[in-house]
Structures are given as structure tokens and as C-alpha cells.
Structure 1
């Protein structure tokens, strides 16, 4: 156990907090207060994602377990937030299915490629990083669901960005499948 791995575990622990905010009694927190709390928790969890990677590289504390747990924590956090947003009626089921389905498909693809010794063929690239960054901005905007700076609609911007993230999700999934197919042909 090291500090980067501890931060990743904190991100996992934040998942029930983000979901649980909406289960609190109405007299404890109003809906706008719940929205703000969930958005802030999601942003803090996202910051731990960046910070744990930074510290792992800086302090040379990378580990096989940390490399496994980090993307799992990210996928769980995003999936939980998307399910909350779906339940709240702030996103459509197709967008949630595209994003969550892609994560499952690519995780399975990476595992399979690792089994056949071709894991480098589907290593994370810039397209996946842009997709992740886009959804990590969209989700807290959708959770917040209020006005930004008194004039901008967080829901509108979050919805627009999540649609972009869904398009990038499909594009990146096709890209990874293409890379995997090329990797399979090389190993034959």
C-alpha cells in the first residue's frame, strides 16, 4: 500500500457517497444542494485520479495492483454517476449504454489481447484520453444541473459534452478494435 494506491481506494470509496447523496432525506439537503454535493464529490474523485498518477510517477511508486485498480476505479465512478444521471432523467439510456458498454467491451478486449501476448496493440492512446477528459467535465456539469456564473446552463453544456463523449466513445472503440484486429493478424 502506498499513497497513490490509497488515493485510488479513496476514489472507490467516493462512489457510494456520490450515489448516496441522492438517497438522503429531502429535509437534510434540497435537490440543488444534493446536486452541488454530488458534483463536488465527483470532481474531488477526478482530481485524485490525476493526483495518484502524478505521485506514482513522481515518487516511483507504480505497482501492478495500482495499474489494475486505477482504471477499474475510474470505470466504476463514471458508471455510477451515469446511472444516477439516468435515474434523475438528465441523460438518455442510449448515451449511458454507449459509454458503459464501451468500457466493458474495451476492458474485455484488453484482457483478451494480454492473454495472446498483444496487449501493446490496444494501449491507451490520445483518443481515449480525450474521451475520458470530455466525460469527466460533462458528468459534474450534469450532476450540478444549475447555472454557471449565473448565466450558463450546466445541464446544457454537460449534455452537449456528454454527447461529444459518446461520439468519441464510439470512435475510440472502433479504433481499438481496428488495432486489435491488426495485432491479431500479426500474431498469426
Structure 2
């Protein structure tokens, strides 16, 4: 196994980190449903979405690197949910990408806990480097940071594999919904006592 290190995101890392996340999350069922495909065109749209997120709301972002190459990205942000209306009900132009993204983000926001917590996401490891302990190391770092604050944590995911992975770190499913026929799980990790 190649050795990797964990570093913090710097401004000069945003482009490469966005590309890594887009490759890592291209085949995520919800992304396929929202972006209506999983080809290069959709990957570029996802990359641009993550570029905006990491530029505008970087939170605390950790990078997994092998030598200088970024192979994994994990973002955490301290937040509390906000009251969201149901204005984006299922009536909308489902062929419009902006509407689909807005509906998705609004649906996730409706379930975001109102209590102060650390929000985990996005998290992604390049497909060529998955299964090598990089995600485990990133999540261990996340738990270390959250536990030092005696804080709860929260995330959203849409695959059974990810649910099992996050359960290993003390997360549990607290709610399920469907977004564009994709089951989404909302997971909570209570603070350490």
C-alpha cells in the first residue's frame, strides 16, 4: 500500500480537489439522477459544483495525498440547520438541471438538524485508490476533530455501502427519504460522553 498523508486544503488545491470529488462521486446514484447521466459532461458539471462549494464554503477540508497528488477529499463544516419551506415540492420542471439541484439541496436542508453540529460532506476518494484505507483514515480524522469538541455530527448518503461504512464510525440512520427515486439516508453521530 502506498503511503499517504493528510493535509489541509489550501486555495491552490481547490481545482484539483474538485476534480477528485467529481471522479469519486460520478457514479453516486443521486448524482446520476440529478445530473441525468454519468459521463464526462456530467463529471464536469459536478466538478464545477464542488469548485463553487470549496471556494465559497470551504469549512475545514482535509486532503489525502500520495506524494503531492490529491487522492481523497473530506470537508466538514460547523453548522445548525435552518427552517426550509416546501416551496420546491415535486412540481417543477424536472428537465431543468437548476430546478433538480435546488430541489435536492432543499430536500436535504429540510432534514438538517437544527442543533449545532458538524456536517460531514462531501467525502470522496479517487476510484483507483478506494479500498486502500484512505477513506477510513479521513473519517478517523473527522471523528477525532468532532470528539475533541464533544460535538454531534451529521451527514447524508444514498448507498447501502456508505451506510455500513459510516456505521463503523458511530453514525446511525435517523431518517430516510426518496429524491428522484433514489433512497437517501440521513445519519447522526451523537457526541462522545
Q: Which structure exhibits the higher relative contact order, with contacts defined as CA atoms closer than 8 Å and separated by 6 or more residues?
A: 1
The normalised TM-score by structure 1 is 0.28
Of Structure 1 and Structure 2, the greater strand share is in: 2
TM-score (norm 2): 0.27
When you count helix as a share of all residues, which structure comes out higher? 1
Give 1 or 2 for the bigger CA radius of gyration: 1
